[in-house]
Amino acid sequence: MPRVTKKADPPTKLCAACGRQFTWRKKWSRDWDQVKYCSKRCARGKLT
């Protein structure tokens, strides 16, 4: 069972592509451990 997080204190990670900090989103609740990128653009690796 996933750990419950409070809305006021969501967990954060650093993006593997751009290095920006991003916060947990509900759509990532099942696979938060596998999330590495803050956006689809970073996942594609097409940063400018």
Give the angle 35-40-45 at the CA atoms, nearest 5°: 95
Closest CA to 17 of 34, 47, 33: 47
Distance between CA atoms of residues 5 and 15, nearest Å = 20
Instruction: Render pLDDT for 4-47 as a digit per residue (tens, 0 to 9).
Output: 656 678 899 999 999 999 999 999 989 999 999 999 999 998 65
Number of structural domains in the chain:
1
Please report the pLDDT score of residue 6 as a whole number: 61
pLDDT band at 2 (very low <50, low <70, confident <90, very high): low
Distance between CA atoms of residues 6 and 9, nearest Å = 5
| pTM exceeds cut of 0.75 | no
Domain membership of residue 23 as a residue range: 1-48
| Dihedral (Cα; 6, 32, 35, 12), 10-degree rounding | 30
